Structure 1
């Protein structure tokens, strides 16, 4: 920053003139700085005696003030050239980030995932029910972790025309839009340099790349949360009722994926911290209005949709697993630890100093230290919500997806941390490049490992010659063949190895996932075909294989090897004689 008092512009030959236009070649005359020790001195309300020329290295020169001062209003024409240039630079850089994200996402490939098959197939049944009144084979709302008539129906519509690739491309569009909204939100909170850092880091982490290629409702829910985040930040300088614009996308995100409700308190508190025009109780009023608006919309949605058993069975009262907390912490740190660590550094730097010295052009006062500290704690701390909840449940199921929701909120502080790491006037660009490259490499490798599961297309092609509309079929991941063979079989013809109540021929009743019940059904020749791979339900698999040994009703007719990042396995198919 230029020393005080200011001197004439290097290219100026005329003496300083206090009435000179800000765009002229001479700066206004020097004025002694106000005395900070004077009790009457109020930094946020003081005006600088002159306007500095925009820094060509700052991508958003109109938005950064000298800490403790307010820059007087300047005619728009005085900034037009630099604003157009900085806007083009920042948008061009954002497009490059989005291109990198798209390329890294599209390189992931494979057969249909179990969750993808489940949601798309259910969407077809829900769509038939809505359009033609066809009875549902099962009440999907009883165990889905999102409303079955929202994303699954949209996925089914796309699947009808473009297939699985089209539904996956829809997820990519959702994630690209999420990154763009993150950029816009961070730019509004801080500046363009921090916004580019946030977008660059978020775009290449494992959850972002994976969710951009998965045909599940996580991508849609993340996009809606990002839209709500942007609207909360965007309306921060408007009147209190304007924050209600963020209520519909936030409520819809909770409907698309119930776990998104975990982040509603963060958005409500953010509405309070970004209430720039309000003071005192009116600041809290903004959060109250948003919270009540979201609750009202959720209440209306629940009343119209009826009972949703999946809210309790998969979200609020989910069965506890047996995964140790150490493993969940380790995997969470691998998938998002670097971004969160950068966000923590950015939060600390933001508390210590609101702005770097090369950014003296934002109009308006700097948020107080307490507000800055609360903003950093809120955004960075949100990244720990999903890991903490799953540690409570002791389950790693879907953790690789859920981590990404928290990273969306930590990314603005990570972008600020990256900006501070680079320093004023791009003093240390190599540090920012190293951070981005390390995040990118880790994200690529981790996404490739996460986007890896057994390829069931070969076994499904073979089963197509066997199945019909009358049989009953057993498969560990029954959703995959049910989706791939939905033109030849119905949903209820497929049984998975996690739940099968059965009454044996001897009259004995077996409930749930009792391995003995599956073994009894095999001995009674209840299934017309059995497909096992191993690894999903080892106890049930062992019981079924034991019942198949020497069983005259079944014959092993097919073996299909498959490879994943976890190792090799073999699909084995037995057909009833």
Structure 2
């Protein structure tokens, strides 16, 4: 018996071994891993040199903004440089000092005036102003180094860029007074304090002599000593905890001891009282001072406040790809740092409001804005965002700050009379080594004509004490009227700018005395004139 016929068999495929599978096709393009930020790792030589190159460009731009300004010497520049020459002659040849400069100067007459006069003797006023530029460039460099230590290169470069274009920086970079040197010394002190945050606590004493020199150079720099003390404790707290308070105490001792010794064995205390602690109050209202503060530093201060708020809320926003989250200080520390640096910018305006005067406010604002600049750098970087997401926002803010800096600095240098033509006229009518002269701003002719006259020959409109032939001393307006009526002065120069309230009084006294004739009027602007009277 046979089996029934079956149909065709179906052969199933046997799976191949894994190694026999065909390799997948190579992709034509692979998306690279995106880094945390557009920066090389910390410590990379390329990153360091790129940052330095950008900083150099910023400093060159800052120098250009300052060097474009021009005018003859301001009365403050003239008196400081003239006093420096007098001090040098006194030290070298024993020439008597005609007045007690320490009693009314806002800084030691033996520090900046002497150094600036040495430069002035060789290179003139341009050299003395160039010295101030070097100081301001040094201050900006120290600011960069300090901000880089606190945060990273990006906020440091942003802080340097915004500090370079504010009006105070531009003006002080071409202004031969104490201020630029004091700003540099404060910046150097702050950098030393920040740089030694992880070093032994005694290393903070390296900053103490620099701080003392800053205060001696410009007494108003003492207003920022509390900020430096708080900074000394704050920056080392994440690394040393409570021992950071010892660091602050050491800094206080290092500053206090030489300061007390200096006050004990010098005669600068009268100058400190006259120009700083017991300065005569003015009549400027709070609204005027606040408005001027907003004009000269408002944009940078708002940027710094924004940076402080952003930093307090979030300690890291990809400024540095190598920063681990655990390395970022806590929120309380970040908040205190922002408050300290931003509040320091308000010290000068607050003190000027207390004095009810806006005199020198435009210069003093630069001291406080130096400390607010690191937070302004953080504010700019937060506007830009990670990977330069919104660079246009920071650019608009920086350009606006630049426009304010250019405009205000130009206005400042045009605010006093240009005296080159006046000096030529006075040189031909001043008796070498003799004569008595009255001027609204006598410091300027004393500086430019110091080869034929000196300060003892000149009187100003700020103070008068005239003794007549009977021995009676006349003060104020009566003193000027009596002196002119007696023909005491050989030459009178009025401009109507320095002391405008006394200009009509002196003009009437000169005309009514009958002892003087009008030599001529020398223009210094479209509407301003120097009026020169000589004795008949």
- Report what 1:374 is aligned to: 336
- Report what 1:67 is aligned to: none
* Structure 2 residue corresponding to 1:465, chosen from 428, 447, 451: 428
Matched, 1:316 2:277: yes
Shift of 1:537: 2.2
Query: What secondary structure is seen at the aligned counterpart in 2 of 1:449?
Result: helix
Alpha-carbon deviations, 1:313-353, whole Å to 9, x = none?
01100000001110110001110000000000000000100
- Report what 1:258 is aligned to: 219
Q: TM-score, normalised by structure 1?
A: 0.85
Query: What secondary structure is seen at the aligned counterpart in 2 of 1:305?
Result: coil
- Report what 1:475 is aligned to: 439
Moved more, 482-491 or 360-369: 360-369
- Report what 2:474 is aligned to: 510
Shift of 1:251: 0.7
Moved more, 285-294 or 379-388: 285-294
- Report what 1:11 is aligned to: none
CA distance in structure 2 between the partners assigned to 1:367 and 1:53 by the alignment: 26
CA distance in structure 1 between the partners assigned to 2:238 and 2:168 by the alignment: 36
Shift of 1:149: 0.2
Shift of 1:457: 1.8
* Structure 2 residue corresponding to 1:498, chosen from 462, 466, 474: 462
CA distance in structure 2 between the partners assigned to 1:53 and 1:181 by the alignment: 33
- Report the CA distance shift for 1:507/1:132 in structure 2 as closer, same or farther (over 3 A): closer
Query: What secondary structure is seen at the aligned counterpart in 1 of 2:479?
Result: helix
* Structure 2 residue corresponding to 1:180, chosen from 141, 161, 175: 141
- Report what 1:528 is aligned to: 490
- Report what 2:131 is aligned to: 170
CA contact (8 A) 1:529 1:573 kept: yes
CA distance in structure 2 between the partners assigned to 1:84 and 1:360 by the alignment: 15
- Report what 2:110 is aligned to: 149
CA contact (8 A) 2:106 2:271 kept: yes
Moved more, 245-254 or 538-547: 538-547
Shift of 1:301: 2.8
Which structure: larger Rg? Answer: 2
Alpha-carbon deviations, 1:227-268, whole Å to 9, x = none?
001001000011100111111111100000000000010011
Shift of 1:309: 1.2
* Structure 1 residue corresponding to 2:69, chosen from 108, 111, 114: 108
Matched, 1:571 2:533: no
Shift of 1:208: 0.1
Gaps of 5+ in 2: 1-32
Matched, 1:296 2:257: yes
CA contact (8 A) 2:159 2:373 kept: yes
- Report what 2:373 is aligned to: 411
Alpha-carbon deviations, 1:379-399, whole Å to 9, x = none?
001000001001100111111
CA distance in structure 2 between the partners assigned to 1:307 and 1:496 by the alignment: 23
- Report the CA distance shift for 1:349/1:277 in structure 2 as closer, same or farther (over 3 A): closer
CA contact (8 A) 2:423 2:445 kept: yes
Shift of 1:297: 2.2
CA distance in structure 1 between the partners assigned to 2:266 and 2:390 by the alignment: 55
Matched, 1:554 2:513: no
CA distance in structure 1 between the partners assigned to 2:471 and 2:255 by the alignment: 52
Alpha-carbon deviations, 1:129-176, whole Å to 9, x = none?
112221100010000000000000001100110000000000001101
Query: What secondary structure is seen at the aligned counterpart in 2 of 1:510?
Result: strand
CA contact (8 A) 1:251 1:294 kept: yes
Matched, 1:189 2:150: yes
Query: What secondary structure is seen at the aligned counterpart in 2 of 1:275?
Result: helix
- Report the CA distance shift for 1:307/1:402 in structure 2 as closer, same or farther (over 3 A): closer
Matched, 1:61 2:20: no
Moved more, 90-99 or 535-544: 535-544
- Report the CA distance shift for 1:530/1:325 in structure 2 as closer, same or farther (over 3 A): same
Alpha-carbon deviations, 1:365-413, whole Å to 9, x = none?
2211111101000000100000100110011111110000000000000
Matched, 1:396 2:377: no
- Report what 1:71 is aligned to: none
CA distance in structure 1 between the partners assigned to 2:85 and 2:190 by the alignment: 32
* Structure 2 residue corresponding to 1:133, chosen from 73, 94, 111: 94
CA distance in structure 2 between the partners assigned to 1:318 and 1:544 by the alignment: 27
* Structure 1 residue corresponding to 2:450, chosen from 486, 490, 500: 486
CA distance in structure 2 between the partners assigned to 1:476 and 1:550 by the alignment: 19
CA contact (8 A) 1:237 1:276 kept: no
CA distance in structure 2 between the partners assigned to 1:277 and 1:349 by the alignment: 20
CA contact (8 A) 1:460 1:485 kept: yes
CA contact (8 A) 2:438 2:460 kept: yes
Q: How much is the aligned-residue C-alpha RMSD, in angstroms?
A: 1.8
CA distance in structure 2 between the partners assigned to 1:568 and 1:415 by the alignment: 43
Gaps of 5+ in 1: 1-51, 63-78
Total equivalences in the alignment: 503
Shift of 1:539: 3.5
Alpha-carbon deviations, 1:399-447, whole Å to 9, x = none?
1100000000000000000000100111101111111111111100111
- Report what 1:70 is aligned to: none
CA distance in structure 1 between the partners assigned to 2:84 and 2:357 by the alignment: 27
CA distance in structure 1 between the partners assigned to 2:62 and 2:436 by the alignment: 43
- Report what 1:39 is aligned to: none
CA distance in structure 2 between the partners assigned to 1:271 and 1:197 by the alignment: 23
CA contact (8 A) 2:155 2:319 kept: no
Shift of 1:215: 0.5
Shift of 1:306: 3.6
Query: What secondary structure is seen at the aligned counterpart in 2 of 1:556?
Result: strand
Query: What secondary structure is seen at the aligned counterpart in 2 of 1:274?
Result: helix
Query: What secondary structure is seen at the aligned counterpart in 1 of 2:518?
Result: strand
Shift of 1:535: 3.1
Q: TM-score, normalised by structure 2?
A: 0.91
